[in-house]
Amino acid sequence: MTLSRRGFLGVAGMAVGLSGCGLDFKPSQAGELLKSQAPLPEAFAVPLPIPSVAKPIRTANGVDHYRITQRKAQLEILPGLRTEVLGYDGQFPGPTFDVRSGRTIAVEQVNQLDVPTVVHLHGGHTPSASDGWPTDLVNPVGGMPSGHQHHGGHAMPGDVREGRRTYTYPNEQRAATLWYHDHRMDFTAPQVYRGLVGLHLIRDAEEEALPLPAGDREVPLVIADRAFEADGSFRYPALDPTLMSTPGVESAYMEGVVGDVILVNGAPWPVLEVDAARYRFRILNASNARRYELHLEGGPSRFVQIGSDGGLLDKPIEHESLVIAPAERFDVIIDFSQYAVGSDVTLVNRLGSGSTAQVMRFKVARAAKDDSAIPAKLSSYQVVETPKRVVRRQWRFRKGASGSHADWSINGRAFDPSRMEARPRLGEYEIWSFVTDVHHPVHVHLSPFQVLSRGGAKPGPYDAGWKDTVDVRPSEVVEVLIKFTAHKGKYMIHCHNLEHEDMAMMAAFETI
């Protein structure tokens, strides 16, 4: 089957293969900078927004039911301008799910947009039918508007629904910071870029027994870069006819779209007033392609990492800076009592330059009482011993050499939803190795993994804990130990640089 890979562009029939845009091959970043046409706002001028918390509409038989409406909204992201977002409940980021481990929720997603959507709970131990398979589309309520077409003209096997779909999440997993986002075949990058992201927090008794900062001192930071048109709308290659008539645009931007405005929780370079006390930040890199090296300026730079993608670490790890690839999460404590009251502490990005070298600012506003602590032992998390006999699989990520969409691949093949590349057995450990050419943040659905080695040496400073996404650097091999449990069905592994993902850098596997 031949699949169209033009979702990234949203058009078919473009001449491709030119590379006139000067690919950005800085070693720290795969991607091409897209500059805003709107004037950039002043940094540290708007307060950090906190996403709302989703509320169940009813509870029946121990299951909490939610309804989320995917709709367009006009938000003021840049002061004085309006940005049309595609938002869960019209919000960007969408409402945060705040749920208990082991308690099932059912989320009815209603699509009031004019494009098909798919919802994936990233990091979720989710039955296959609710995992957000890229061709399990939810079409808009009332069908596709006239003038729009389903692209490609090829058959895409999938469980397609009209208007709405209910996703069931058992939340049978330890406390962790998950997130949900669009996963539509060929169009994940533009749809996430336009706003379809939100957080999903799972809590459990083990974590709640710890004296960690909580309440107002537990703050999510969803970091995402964007570019804006002069009228305030999101600038993205597929959405911009002037860009689309520029030769070479496709091949440049499929390396990854990186913008020049850094948003945190949907606000540009925001500011948060804090007490001189410990805060817990759940940091998510929700950017399509941008990596960050987060660092604090205005005093000592010290992050105490307590958790990663898959929940608490066994013990805290201190970092002077944090390198975070797309889709990774870091759960960290920053102790603002180490700064003078009245001081400004700026979260910067050491991999950025100019406007992208800054992320947000903390204003240490007042002295305050602090009952929190960071225990030396955080959880019963264990580093798993590698069994002697174990299935090994290798996944080689290769970027396309030209604008042709056929040559972005894993193990030499572009994604085909009907072809299973592996059949791992439930309950058995496997060692997977990820092999790259350029930077690829590699993500596996269904179950988390532990990093065993990086570049033939021990795991890196940011590899601790249960991970579901790992930052694999150029020409590197990362080995992980993984075990799938409980759910049989089809799942996927893919690159989480969303432009790479849309170029079919995904592979299907089936748990048996």
CB 251 within 8 A of CB 402: yes
At closest approach, how far in Å is the CB of 176 from Cu ion?
24
At closest approach, how far in Å is the CB of 120 from ligand C2O?
5
| Binding partner of 181, given Cu ion, ligand C2O, none, CB within 5-8 angstroms per partner class | ligand C2O
Overall size of the chain counted in residues: 512
162 vs 140: CA distance, rounded Å: 7
285 vs 358: CA distance, rounded Å: 14
CB 498 within 8 A of CB 190: no
| Binding partner of 454, given Cu ion, ligand C2O, none, CB within 5-8 angstroms per partner class | none
At closest approach, how far in Å is the CB of 320 from ligand C2O?
28
Query: Judged by CB, which is closer to ligand C2O: 41, or 134?
Result: 134
| Binding partner of 500, given ligand C2O, Cu ion, none, CB within 5-8 angstroms per partner class | Cu ion
Query: Judged by CB, which is closer to ligand C2O: 327, or 422?
Result: 327
Q: Is residue 483 involved in binding Cu ion (CB under 5 A)?
A: no
Of 176, 126, 173, 441, nearest to 310 (Cα)? 176
Query: Judged by CB, which is closer to Cu ion: 192, or 495?
Result: 495
132 vs 494: CA distance, rounded Å: 13
Query: Judged by CB, which is closer to Cu ion: 46, or 254?
Result: 254
404 vs 7: CA distance, rounded Å: 13
| Binding partner of 440, given Cu ion, ligand C2O, none, CB within 5-8 angstroms per partner class | Cu ion
Q: Is residue 473 involved in binding Cu ion (CB under 5 A)?
A: no
- Provide the residue type at 43 as one letter: A
- Pick one of 290, 295, 467, 500: the residue that binds Cu ion (CB under 5 A): 500
Per CB under 5 A, the segment of 289-297, 406-414, 445-453, 500-508 that binds Cu ion is: 500-508
H/E run at residue 67: strand 63-75
| Binding partner of 487, given Cu ion, ligand C2O, none, CB within 5-8 angstroms per partner class | none
283 vs 297: CA distance, rounded Å: 18
| Binding partner of 333, given Cu ion, ligand C2O, none, CB within 5-8 angstroms per partner class | none
At closest approach, how far in Å is the CB of 503 from ligand C2O?
14
Query: Judged by CB, which is closer to ligand C2O: 120, or 282?
Result: 120
For residue 105, with 0-12 CB atoms within 10 Å meaning exposed, 13-18 middle and 19 or more buried, which class applies?
Answer: buried
CB 251 within 8 A of CB 19: yes
**Sign, Cα dihedral of 442, 447, 448, 452:** negative
At closest approach, how far in Å is the CB of 486 from Cu ion?
29
Query: Judged by CB, which is closer to ligand C2O: 278, or 291?
Result: 291
Query: Judged by CB, which is closer to Cu ion: 99, or 325?
Result: 325
| Binding partner of 443, given ligand C2O, Cu ion, none, CB within 5-8 angstroms per partner class | ligand C2O
| Binding partner of 183, given ligand C2O, Cu ion, none, CB within 5-8 angstroms per partner class | ligand C2O
Q: How many CB atoms lie within 10 A of CB 148?
A: 12
CA angle 464, 469, 470 (to 5 degrees): 60
CB within 8 Å of 58: residues ≥ 6 apart: 65
Which residue is listed with tokens 């432009």?
A: 499
Query: Judged by CB, which is closer to ligand C2O: 279, or 491?
Result: 491
In the bound state, the residue with its beta carbon closest to ligand C2O is 122
461 vs 472: CA distance, rounded Å: 13
At closest approach, how far in Å is the CB of 471 from ligand C2O?
14
Q: How many CB atoms lie within 10 A of CB 42?
A: 10
Query: Judged by CB, which is closer to ligand C2O: 235, or 500?
Result: 500
Query: Judged by CB, which is closer to ligand C2O: 327, or 347?
Result: 327
310 vs 300: CA distance, rounded Å: 28
Pairing verdict, β 271-276 and 358-367: parallel
Interacting residues with ligand C2O (CB under 6 A)? 120, 122, 181, 183, 327, 443, 445, 494, 496
E strands, 250-377, in order: 257-259, 261-264, 267-268, 271-276, 278-285, 292-297, 303-308, 311-319, 321-324, 329-335, 344-349, 358-367
- Pick one of 308, 346, 497, 511: the residue that binds Cu ion (CB under 5 A): 497
263 vs 417: CA distance, rounded Å: 33
Contacts with Cu ion by CB under 5 A: the residue count is: 4
Query: Judged by CB, which is closer to Cu ion: 156, or 503?
Result: 503
At closest approach, how far in Å is the CB of 418 from ligand C2O?
18
Q: Is residue 440 involved in binding Cu ion (CB under 5 A)?
A: yes
- Pick one of 464, 495, 498, 508: the residue that binds Cu ion (CB under 5 A): 495
- Provide the residue type at 258 as one letter: V
SS3 158: coil
At closest approach, how far in Å is the CB of 325 from Cu ion?
10
Catalog residues that contact Cu ion under the rule CB under 5 A: 440, 495, 497, 500
